[in-house]
Amino acid sequence: MARRTTDRVIVTCALTGAQQGKEANPNLPEQPGEIVAQGLDAWRAGAAILHLHARDQHGRATSDVGVFRRIVEGLREAGCDAVLNLTTGGAVAGLPLEQRLRVVSELRPEIASFSVGGGCLLGRWDAGRENWRGDRFVPLFASYAELEATARLFLENGTRPELEIYHSGMLNNIRTLLARGALEQPLWVNFVTGIPGEVNRPTAKNLLYLAEGLPGEARFRWLVSAIGARNHFRTMALAAVMGGHVRVGLEDNVWIGRGELASGNGQIVAKAVGILRQLGIEPASPGEARDLLELAPRK
């Protein structure tokens, strides 16, 4: 398993996501101004990377590049130097792939998310109601040719993909793309855990298996996203002591504690940073994160 060469851990804050909205937590940011304000709070609290989704005026997920641009410009104009990670996700919300990829070709962010698989079956059996809840298949890529073309789009635009791994079979796709010369190193790999369905469970055994399953010939760094209040902070701490990096934020968890909704992303990042410091680990600054990920300077 890859070990950190520094005692700094990169904290990513995922601000809003593509699914739940203010019905889950009224403090979840939806409009550009809200996202910018909470992004600044998260950055000031210690997040080196901000993971950004966009919403339309009704709070629904959108791939509108103009909305993303407003968020990016708002953060930069406020002096925020965090690494910005724009999503190419939104398949779960039904957004077409071609539209989702426009943020890479038009905005050329330092990082963008890239789910490297065919898709995932999601859902769980509700024994009390005796039915399936959230039962659906979320398609990602229809072919390896499409997967490779997307990887090369990232290369052409100088954007580092955050490789989203929902289950262990996706590790094979990283190897395939690496062999094709379609990925730049160091790889930046996100183990997504805790979603009911065909998705990694947030256990130490699984994280060890996933991290050791990354291509041994490659240089890489990894982080963990743990979905849901039960998993969120304990899995974050586990990843940090195992040599990984961490992601927190309202996209993944709307609670700050048992029965208490978070007041915003800044509060969640502050709690995460406090946990790291109790473990003797300091959060990386944006500059340190760029060095760790070897991100090319932007003009």
Q: Contact 35/75 with Cβ under 8 angstroms?
A: no
Identify which has the larger pLDDT, 299 or 209: 209
Q: 129: which residues sit within 8 A by CB, 6+ positions away? A: none
The pLDDT value given to residue 299 = 57
pLDDT per residue over 66-92, tens digit each? 999 999 999 999 999 999 999 999 888
Residue 134 binned pLDDT confidence (cut-offs 50, 70, 90): confident
The b-or-e profile of 212-231 (16+ CB within 10 A means b, else e) is ebbbeeeebbbbbbbbbbeb
Position 3 scores a pLDDT of 43
Q: What digits encode the pLDDT tens for the residues 235-245?
A: 999 999 999 99
Query: What is the arithmetic mean of pLDDT over 112-130?
Result: 92
pLDDT, mean over the chain? 94
Structural domain contains residue 299: no
For residue 236, being part of any structural domain is answered with: yes
In a domain, 218, yes or no: yes
Assess whether pLDDT exceeds 80 at residue 265: yes
Q: What is the pLDDT of residue 6?
A: 54
**CA dist 26 → 19, 30, 266 (Å):** 14, 10, 15
Residue 157 has pLDDT above 80, yes or no: yes
Mind listing the pLDDT tens digit for each residue in 26-38? 999 999 999 999 9
What predicted TM-score, i.e. pTM, was given to this entire model? 0.95
For the chain, the residue count is 299
In a domain, 1, yes or no: no
CB 145 within 8 A of CB 222: no
Query: Are 193 and 202 within 8 A, CB to CB?
Result: yes
Mean pLDDT of 257-266: 97
User: Residue 93: which domain range?
Assistant: 8-293
Smallest CA-to-CA distance from 165 within 102, 241, 244 is with: 244
pLDDT at 298: 66
Does the residue 16 lie in any domain? Answer: yes
CATH code of the domain in which 219 resides: 3.20.20.70
Element at 170 (helix H, strand E): helix 170-179
Flag whether 93 is in a domain: yes
Contacts 24+ apart (CB under 8 A), 141-150: 141/97, 141/115, 141/116, 141/117, 142/118, 144/173, 144/176, 146/97, 147/116, 147/173, 147/176, 147/177, 148/177, 148/180, 148/182, 150/88, 150/97, 150/101, 150/114
Q: At a CB cut-off of 8 Å and minimum separation 6, what does 179 contact? A: none
Q: What is the pLDDT of residue 2?
A: 44
Per the structure, how many domains does the chain have? Answer: 1
What pLDDT, on a 0 to 100 scale, did the predictor assign at position 148? 98
187 falls within a domain: yes
Produce one character per residue of 13-40: b if its CB has 16 or more CB atoms within 10 Å, e if not: bbbbbbeebeeebebbbbbbebbbbbbb
